A and B are shown apart, each in its own frame.
Chain A
Amino acid sequence: MARRTPFVARLGADVVGLVVLLICLFPVYWMVSRSFLPRNRIKGESPEVVPLHGTLDNYRTVFDDGSFAKALVTSLSVTLLTVVVALLFAFLAAVAVSRFRFRGRWAFIAVLLVIQMIPAEALFISQYKMLDGMGLLNSVIGLTLVYVAAVLPFTVWTLRSFVEGVPRELEEAAMIDGCSRPQAFFQVTFPLLAPGLIATGVFAFIQAWNEFTLAVVAMTDPEKKTLPVWLVAFTDNRSKGVDWGAIMASSTLITIPVIVFFMIVQHRMVTGLTAGAVKG
């Protein structure tokens, strides 16, 4: 709708836009700027809006406290394992659903759609009991298992639209040239799917990295917390007085990878609406 907008209307829209920009940026700005301030400069009355001469002390505090590093390792393990397993399983399923017609295809699609809508809170009690029974509470494998199931519906869904985007004619042409069907698929179609696999993998990464609900249920041992669970506990630890500088530093650290990945896939977040949308 590239319509000519009257000057006054545009001015009004611009003012609203700038206000929205400010509201969006302020919490992010506050988080990052306070993360560089020493404790005595983060005070209640007359806060420094534009602080100069910051310090890296808060980041030092976070890294010196060994629990952050432990949580980082747990988070990275669970997240990467989830991405790899989910991508593999979802890729196979997406190929089946988009390239074959088989009994149960419909049931599979319908189940994915329904599962997508089930809130984690409606199943985490019995997932907890199950992991407990299997000896998989506080284990990377256990949390990965529930994460893989949680991200599968949308990974299958997204990958499917990518597989369908590659014309079958390309594969058929390769088969006429003497390729077998698997050869045609892996030499022609698969390379064209790389962007789809990357985008889907990034979605899965963000989901697993940010996930809180299942992690707080499945990882009760303080030594086995993921970063989000660690952060909530760290914020909560008021015995030493709240160290907001360190809390903002760790929040910043947790946010950085997500922002980077988010920028990579942002245009797909919008087009992926009907492909089972993603929410952090």
Chain B
Amino acid sequence: MPPPAVRRRSLLPLGLVLPASLALGLALGYPLVRQVVLSLQEFGLAQQFGQPPTWIGLGNYRELLGGDDLWPVVRRTVVFCFANAALTFGIGVGLALLMARMSRVVRVATQVGLLLAWAMPVVAAMTVFQFLFDRDYGVVNAALTGLGLDYDGHNWLIEPWSFFMVATIVVVWMSVPFVAFTVHASLTQVPEDVVEAAEIDGAGAWQRFVHVVLPSIRPVLVVVAMLQVIWDLRVFTQIYSLQRAGGTTDETHLLGTYIHALGIKGGDFGMASAAAMFMLALTVVLTAPYIVMMIKQEREH
């Protein structure tokens, strides 16, 4: 429904969007411009002693893209992102499909459990999982030791692969509910009579799923998958707090924590800004299909 033209020349609507626009401009627009400027400047030792930063053109970008630090971080970020997104998506969709087959009581109970996991604040979830995997007090080590395995005093955060395994468990634990609920909701929208008609025409369960159910939930699946990729690309809190709990930072940085370490901790705002611009570009590339789809939907709307 395109809104009917109400007083086309009125200044009122512009006045109405003004406060929001100003807030966005000040808190996001200005920093974006500032970041481009920062990324072209050198912040070295002299600047830490109060000298104004010097212009070095694309020097930061050259150092960043030509250096050995960025690419392992990018590779790790992308692998972590897709691994987590795929796991979350697979488990979430599978669960949504199973939910339709559960008996009522179990389904409601499962949904309450999922809701709790979803509602948990990320820092609280992080602390609890750190506790579960704690070297000395953790129930995971206790349980594995109880099974006769040698996990007494095992440190889960010291090896990068097991560090990322713990991070993945938390991320997936927190993200599956959104996928499961959303896909389950879209499954309930699948027209019952069409499924029945297909059954009468002799379609088996698998055929009904592939030719009737899947096409009608495909748009939701696409959006959910894209959102997972976008969200898992920017995992910060989980990595940051696991690093503070004892992970080795150099081998566990993802883009977010890498930029944080370069800029906020290291004081090299030039390099950090260049890295942030790189992350922005990567995000734009990965989210472009989603944005295009949303705008298309908006036009039809």
| Residues in A lying within 8 Å of B, measured CB to CB | 1-3, 5, 9-10, 12-14, 16-18, 20-25, 27-28, 30-31, 34, 42-47, 85, 88-90, 92-93, 95-102, 104-105, 108-111, 113-115, 117-130, 145-146, 148-150, 152, 156, 164, 168, 209-210, 212-213, 216-217, 228, 231-232, 235-236, 242, 244, 247-248, 251-252, 254-255, 258-259, 262-263, 266, 269-271, 273-274, 277, 279-280
The answer to whether B158 has its CB under 8 Å from any CB of chain A is no
Nearest A residue to B24 by beta-carbon distance?
Answer: A149
Residue in contact with B195 in the complex, picked from A1, A13, A95, A97, CB distance below 8 Å: A1
Residues of B within 8 A of A114 (CB): 291
Contact, CB under 8 Å: B3 / A258: no
The answer to whether B12 has its CB under 8 Å from any CB of chain A is yes
Contact, CB under 8 Å: A128 / B20: no
Residues of B within 8 A of A104 (CB): 14, 17
The answer to whether B241 has its CB under 8 Å from any CB of chain A is yes
Q: Mask for B198-223, Cβ within 8 A of A = 1, else 0?
A: 00000000000000010000001001
Residues of B within 8 A of A168 (CB): 4
B100 to A: closest C-beta gap in Å: 5
Residues of A within 8 A of B185 (CB): 270-271
Binds A, one of B64-72, B159-167, B232-240: B232-240
Contact, CB under 8 Å: B122 / A212: yes
Nearest A residue to B119 by beta-carbon distance?
Answer: A262
Contact, CB under 8 Å: A90 / B20: yes
Residues of B within 8 A of A277 (CB): 178, 227
Contact, CB under 8 Å: A121 / B38: no
| Residues in B lying within 8 Å of A, measured CB to CB | 1-8, 10, 12-14, 16-17, 19-21, 23-24, 26-28, 30-32, 34-35, 38, 95, 98-103, 106-107, 109-110, 112-132, 134, 136-139, 141-142, 145-146, 152, 173-175, 177-178, 181-182, 185, 187-188, 190, 192, 195, 213, 220, 223-224, 227, 230-231, 233-234, 236-237, 240-241, 244-245, 255-256, 259-260, 263-264, 269, 272-273, 276-277, 279-280, 283-284, 287, 290-291, 294-295, 297-298
Contact, CB under 8 Å: B123 / A121: no
Most buried by A among B12, B116, B185, B273: B116
Main secondary structure of the interface of B (DSSP, over half): helix
Q: A21-B113, A130-B31 are in contact. Are A89 and B23 (CB under 8 A)?
A: yes
A25–B236 CA distance with the chains assembled, in angstroms: 24
Residues of A within 8 A of B240 (CB): 212, 216, 232
Contact, CB under 8 Å: A279 / B109: no
Task: List the 10 shortest-distance A-B pairs measured between CB atoms, nearest first.
Answer: A149-B27, A24-B113, A121-B256, A119-B234, A96-B16, A262-B119, A100-B13, A126-B35, A13-B101, A126-B31
Nearest A residue to B12 by beta-carbon distance?
Answer: A100
A30–B126 CA distance with the chains assembled, in angstroms: 13
Identify 17 new A-B residue pairs, CB closer than 8 A, beyond the known A149-B26, A217-B264, A248-B128.
A18-B110, A20-B110, A23-B113, A24-B116, A24-B173, A27-B132, A44-B141, A109-B298, A121-B256, A121-B279, A124-B276, A231-B127, A236-B244, A242-B134, A251-B124, A270-B181, A280-B122
Number of residue pairs spanning A and B whose beta carbons lie under 8 angstroms apart = 332
Contact, CB under 8 Å: A121 / B255: yes
Residue in contact with A274 in the complex, picked from B109, B119, B294, CB distance below 8 Å: B294
Residue in contact with A13 in the complex, picked from B102, B230, B280, CB distance below 8 Å: B102
Residues of B within 8 A of A254 (CB): 121, 123-124
Contact, CB under 8 Å: A100 / B115: no
Residues of B within 8 A of A9 (CB): 101
Contact, CB under 8 Å: A124 / B269: no
Contact, CB under 8 Å: B269 / A100: no
Residue in contact with A213 in the complex, picked from B10, B173, B256, CB distance below 8 Å: B256
B278 to A: closest C-beta gap in Å: 9
Contact, CB under 8 Å: B99 / A95: no
Contact, CB under 8 Å: A121 / B264: no
Residues of B within 8 A of A248 (CB): 127-128, 131
What are 18 A-B contacts with C-beta separation under 8 Å? A44-B152, A46-B146, A96-B17, A100-B7, A101-B4, A101-B8, A108-B17, A108-B21, A113-B291, A113-B294, A119-B236, A123-B32, A212-B122, A228-B123, A263-B119, A269-B118, A280-B118, A280-B174
Contact, CB under 8 Å: B98 / A27: no
A34–B124 CA distance with the chains assembled, in angstroms: 14
Residues of A within 8 A of B195 (CB): 1, 3
B97 to A: closest C-beta gap in Å: 9
Residues of B within 8 A of A113 (CB): 291, 294-295, 298
A168–B13 CA distance with the chains assembled, in angstroms: 16
Q: A1-B100, A149-B24, A277-B178 are in contact. Are A101 and B3 (CB under 8 A)?
A: yes
A269–B35 CA distance with the chains assembled, in angstroms: 34
